[in-house]
Amino acid sequence: MNTTADEIGGPDLTALLAVTTPTTEHLAALHARLEAAAESADVLDVAYTAIDTPVGSLLLAATPRGLVRVAYEREGHDLVLETLARRISPRILRSPRRLDAAAREINEYFAGLRTRFDLPLDYSLSTGFRHLVHRHLSDIAYGHTETYQQVAMLVGNPKAVRAVGSACATNPLPVVVPCHRVLRTDGTLGGYVGGTEAKTTLLTLEHAA
Amino acid sequence: MNTKPPFERVVAEHGATVLRVCRAVLGPHPDADDAWSEAFLSALKAWPTLPDDVNVEAWLVTVAHRKAIDVTRSRQRRAVPVGEIPERASTVGVPNEDHLELWAAVKALPDRQRQAVAYHHLAGLPYQEVAAILGGSADAARRAAADGIKSLRTRLAGDQPKGRTR
């Protein structure tokens, strides 16, 4: 900020800047107050937070309807937030409270204490055929896997194997909606939005449990 | 159609500056927090429909300016003098002697000068934007800020008693 870079500047302005500058704690308290006010005024269209997990930092975002996005670090959390601003609403605040339940369940999942998620989900980012696939993915039970081919058949479009692949690659709710449980017909991993290493971590976790 | 960045970025970029402005205008008082909170809540509400080419900081300062006027009016209804500074500023700690002197000098400024100083020198808005907020010409805004700085300097440099000037 170039607030003192002015022809008259001087010690008085420097002093005024110094005494009016808030502490980090003070700004954090005002931020929390804004989160609460936005929530009760019903203008917090997207709340988000980030949590640390064995597969790295996960961004969690929710609308008032439910969890709308889970994003891996490699997707670029800032980019993901920009996309949410464009596709859902720019009324976005970091506001961990709305994500409390999601964060708890995901932590329990990684601790091996939870085999299914019981969270309201907002599928706004899933459209058309992809939406059909994303809905189906939640039917694949913990510790089980299906092939892209099987998924295509089960959603009623056996020829759409590639489309199933791209639906999995664009799953807006990875981990919670288990696209990691879909493998290639030859048994190899296939791609994953969080990287193959993350996919292996999740599958290993589920098989060990 | 919608190219607005997430509002969180607005808070991160402008939160501290807008609070400085609120404090300069209202004093180191919880009222400054109230003005900040109301300004950012109104801004969040309006954010999706704001024109893309707007100067965000000037817009936030304008909203904060109106909220500060609201706060000032409700103070008057509570019969608390405008610009009154509490014995202890509950949210910014207890100011030391130098701070008290500076706050007294800021408080002694006519509203327009105090606002012009805050909006130009603390928020960094060009005089054209300051004039749009305060009304009047850019030249008048420039003079108000210059006069404000001059009085601050005179008051702080001089050995005059710390009594009230109005």
Contacts of A50 in chain B (CB under 8 A): none
Q: Is A179 a catalytic residue?
A: yes
pLDDT of residue B159: 45
Average pLDDT over residues B13-18: 95
The string of pLDDT tens digits covering residues B104-138 is 889 999 999 999 999 999 999 999 999 999 999 99
User: Between these two residues, A15 and B79, which has the higher pLDDT value?
Assistant: A15
The string of pLDDT tens digits covering residues A162-204 is 999 999 999 999 999 999 999 998 888 888 999 999 999 999 9
Say whether pLDDT at A153 is over 70. Answer: yes
Amino acid type, B92: V
Contacts of B123 in chain A (CB under 8 A): 3
Nearest CA in chain B to A78: B6
pLDDT of residue B77: 76
The percent of residues above 70 in pLDDT, for chain B, comes to 81
Residue from A59, A152, A176, A179 carrying the catalytic annotation = A179
Nearest to A85 among B6, B11, B123 (CB): B6
Give B4→chain A minimum CA distance, Å: 6
| Interchain contact B81–A (C-beta under 8 A) | no
Domains of chain A: 26-110 (3.30.160.70), 128-208 (1.10.10.10)
Q: How far apart are CA B144 and CA B116, in angstroms?
A: 6
Nearest to A20 among B15, B20, B33 (CB): B20
pLDDT of residue B113: 95
Say whether pLDDT at A10 is over 90. Answer: no
Residue B59: exposure state from Cβ atoms within 10 A (0-12, 13-18, ≥19): buried
Q: Both tokens of residue A35? A: 């989160």
Q: Report the residue of A21, A34, A63 to disrupt the B interface, i.e. the one with the largest count of B CBs within 10 Å.
A: A34
Neighbours of A49 (CB within 10 A): 18
Q: How far apart are CA A26 and CA A31, in angstroms?
A: 9
pLDDT of residue A1: 43
The percent of residues above 90 in pLDDT, for chain A, comes to 85
Average pLDDT over residues A20-32: 94
Say whether pLDDT at B166 is over 90. Answer: no
Q: Report the residue of B94, B97, B122 to disrupt the A interface, i.e. the one with the largest count of A CBs within 10 Å.
A: B122
The string of pLDDT tens digits covering residues B58-108 is 999 999 999 888 888 887 776 555 555 554 444 454 455 668 888 888 999
Domains of chain B: 7-157 (1.20.140)
The string of pLDDT tens digits covering residues A61-115 is 999 999 999 999 999 999 999 999 999 999 999 999 999 999 999 999 999 999 9
| Chain position carrying tokens 């055929």 | A129
Average pLDDT over residues A29-49: 97
pLDDT of residue A145: 94
Contact between B130 and B64 (Cβ < 8 Å): no
Q: How far apart are CA B26 and CA B46, in angstroms?
A: 24
